[in-house]
């Protein structure tokens, strides 16, 4: 059962907090209020989506995004602005089309999945086999789909915490491989999405040597209706793509230097890259903007925090590689990394905070809980575990991590689709994120809290 710090309980902490923690709480509350009206995060997000747009790794747009990042950090007064280059695989989309050939000819709306193979020149045409669940596909023996196109139409459940996505993520990421094992010549899946439009949602998948694409939710249901009529259905696919196994990518960072302990560092960030259909506003321009905005608000204090806050714009989360590259480049620094954290659930408000193991009762974290109680954030007694794809490798090396969970109820209507655009971001919800992160980062950066020691004592 989760231990919750309610707003009333947080208010009661006012008199219980030691003097130093009470000072932290008061300053964190002041910064929280400032963050709610500070324009930095919105300005950063508007600039990125307007001046760069969608940013697939390996693309010219991603190179422009790198230059944009450096200029943004410099313009906002960050110190030690660095560009760290690494290589990673980069899949690129070409022309794509799909249609039902018979018995009910009409077009279908698809987006190729990252890692998909192209169709043969001139396209591919085959009969489909429709599976209403991914488990039904997995139940097929080898050879059962020889010469067929496998189609999985299982729906995703809308949830606040995004668990509906995790529950069927393998349908996209592993589906092509499983279909190929059973002899399929191509794979189609219902988009991992909660929307009801004809806009498909892309995403990465393990390479399987066959064409693989996501259907819009509407078109997946269309194929369900066709299959229910009992007649063989033939589909034509024409998909082009390319893959560069050694594309150049970049992690870009800037710092708010600590005034007393600059070598003790909080590493936070979001991922700069995005998929190509939209402009990457919610995934993950918002995360980049939130973290940049929070650090900038803290930098506005008359004197900086005691520890250094480093914001990283990770360069290849969607297709992988940036988190591993960053951890490898900074492995000798792990012992001095006080905490890592990432914002990568869109722009919905933060509603739950899972703190590093054993720290919920620490005076500094009580100060944080008090500061964010008016923002309707539940602080749990559950230890944080993941943090995000780009900080995960650092966590595995021993860095403490925080999870500030955003409301993902609408996130999967938008992510990886052409609807991932600036107009879908609510400025007030974006500002709430900045305020929560500002309060948390300040209480850690301006204190001596030792998350490793607290975790060890909690064993």
Enumerate the active-site residues: 317
Q: How many CB atoms lie within 10 A of CB 252?
A: 24
- Which helix (H) or strand (E) covers residue 86, if one does? strand 79-102
Please give the Cα distance from 315 to 101 (Å, whole number): 40
Three-state DSSP state, 382: coil
Whether 262 contacts 306, CB under 8 Å: no
- Pairing outcome for strands 337-342 and 378-379: unpaired
Q: Is the dihedral of CA 88, 191, 390, 78 positive or negative?
A: positive
* DSSP string across 290-303: HHHHHHHHHHTSSS
Q: State the Cα angle at 393 between 387 and 258, rounded to 5°.
A: 70
Q: How many CB atoms lie within 10 A of CB 60?
A: 9
DSSP state of 281: I
Q: State the Cα angle at 172 between 169 and 175, rounded to 5°.
A: 115
Which residues have CB under 8 Å from 49's CB, separation 6+?
A: 279, 280, 281, 285, 421, 422
Q: Please, what's the b/e burial string for 132-164 (b: 16 or more CB within 10 A of its CB; e: otherwise)?
A: eebeebbebeeeebeebbbbbbbbbebebebeb
Q: How many CB atoms lie within 10 A of CB 389?
A: 17
Q: Please, what's the b/e burial string for 195-204 (b: 16 or more CB within 10 A of its CB; e: otherwise)?
A: bebebbbbbb
């Amino acid at each position: 059962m989760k231990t919750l710090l309610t707003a009333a309980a947080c208010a009661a902490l006012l008199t219980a907090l030691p003097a130093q923690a009470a000072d932290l709480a008061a300053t964190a509350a002041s910064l929280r209020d400032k963050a709610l009206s500070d324009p930095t995060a919105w300005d950063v997000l508007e600039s990125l989506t307007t001046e760069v747009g969608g940013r697939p790794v390996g693309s010219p747009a991603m190179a422009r995004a790198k230059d944009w990042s450096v200029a943004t950090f410099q313009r906002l007064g960050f110190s030690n602005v660095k560009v760290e280059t690494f290589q990673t695989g980069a899949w690129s989309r070409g022309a794509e089309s799909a249609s039902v050939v018979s018995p009910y000819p009409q077009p279908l709306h698809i987006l190729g999945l990252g890692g998909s193979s192209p169709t043969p020149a001139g396209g591919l045409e085959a009969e489909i086999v429709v599976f209403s669940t991914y488990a039904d596909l997995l139940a097929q023996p080898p050879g059962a789909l020889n010469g067929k196109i496998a189609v999985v139409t299982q729906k995703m459940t809308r949830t606040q915490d995004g668990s509906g996505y995790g529950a069927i993520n393998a349908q996209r990421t592993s589906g092509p491989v499983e279909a190929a094992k059973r002899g399929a010549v191509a794979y189609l899946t219902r988009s991992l999405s909660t929307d009801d439009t004809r806009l498909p949602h892309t995403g990465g998948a393990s390479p399987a040597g066959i064409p693989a694409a996501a259907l819009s939710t509407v078109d997946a249901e269309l194929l369900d209706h066709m299959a229910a009529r009992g007649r063989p259905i033939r589909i034509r696919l024409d998909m082009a793509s390319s893959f560069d196994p050694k594309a150049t990518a970049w992690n870009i960072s800037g710092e708010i230097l600590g005034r007393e302990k600059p070598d003790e560092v909080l590493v936070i960030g979001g991922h700069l890259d995005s998929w190509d259909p939209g402009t990457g506003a919610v995934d993950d321009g918002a995360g980049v903007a939130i973290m940049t905005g929070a650090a900038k608000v803290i930098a506005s204090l008359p004197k900086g925090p005691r520890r250094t806050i480093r914001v990283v714009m990770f360069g290849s989360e969607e297709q992988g590689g940036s988190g591993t590259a960053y951890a490898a480049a900074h492995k000798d620094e792990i012992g001095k990394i006080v905490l890592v954290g990432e914002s990568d659930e869109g722009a919905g408000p933060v509603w739950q905070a899972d703190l590093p193991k054993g720290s919920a009762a620490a005076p500094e974290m009580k100060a944080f809980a008090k500061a964010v109680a008016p923002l309707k954030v539940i602080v749990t007694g559950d230890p944080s575990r993941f943090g995000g794809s780009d900080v995960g490798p650092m966590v595995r090396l021993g860095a403490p991590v925080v999870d500030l969970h955003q409301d993902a109820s609408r996130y999967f209507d938008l992510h990886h689709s052409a609807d991932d655009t600036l107009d879908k971001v609510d400025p007030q919800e974006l500002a709430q994120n900045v305020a929560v992160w500002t309060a948390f980062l300040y209480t850690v950066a301006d204190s001596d809290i030792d998350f490793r020691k607290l975790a060890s004592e909690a064993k």
